[in-house]
């Protein structure tokens, strides 16, 4: 995926890279974002920092997806409970056991 002239960056992967680096296009895009030149990417420590930033962004995106899923589940549960609570609030209560009187 090469960067297009419209300025769109290559798509962020859904998983962190297990190896040492991401696709060169993505690495170059992140380097430009931080004002680095291609010559800077020859330095191992700079490549490591750029990869760490991509890893951080991938992790944040994963967490945002998990949050969205949980929020959808919560909204569904609240809608379910609200639907039955409005209809008959007493139907949600557990029947109380009667104690035997001697």
pLDDT > 50? residue 88: yes
pLDDT bracket for residue 19 (50, 70, 90): confident
The more confident residue out of 48 and 82 is 48
Query: What are 40-75's pLDDT values in tens digits?
Result: 999 999 999 999 999 999 999 999 999 999 999 999
Q: What angle do CA 32, 35, 37 make, to 5 degrees?
A: 70
Domain positions in the chain are: 24-89
pLDDT > 80? residue 91: no
The more confident residue out of 94 and 52 is 52
pLDDT > 80? residue 36: yes
Q: Is residue 35 left, alpha or beta, with left meaning phi > 0 and alpha meaning psi from -120 to 50?
A: left
Percent of the chain with pLDDT over 90: 52
């Amino acid at each position: 995926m090469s960067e297009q002239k419209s300025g769109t960056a290559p798509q962020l992967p859904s998983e962190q890279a297990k190896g040492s680096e991401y696709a060169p296009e993505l690495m170059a895009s992140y380097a430009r974002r931080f004002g680095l030149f291609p010559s800077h990417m020859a330095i191992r420590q700079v490549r490591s920092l750029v990869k760490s930033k991509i890893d951080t962004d991938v992790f944040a995106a994963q967490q945002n997806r998990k949050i969205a899923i949980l929020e959808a589940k919560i909204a569904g549960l609240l809608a379910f409970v609200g639907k039955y609570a409005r209809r008959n609030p007493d139907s949600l209560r557990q029947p109380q056991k009667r104690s035997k009187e001697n």
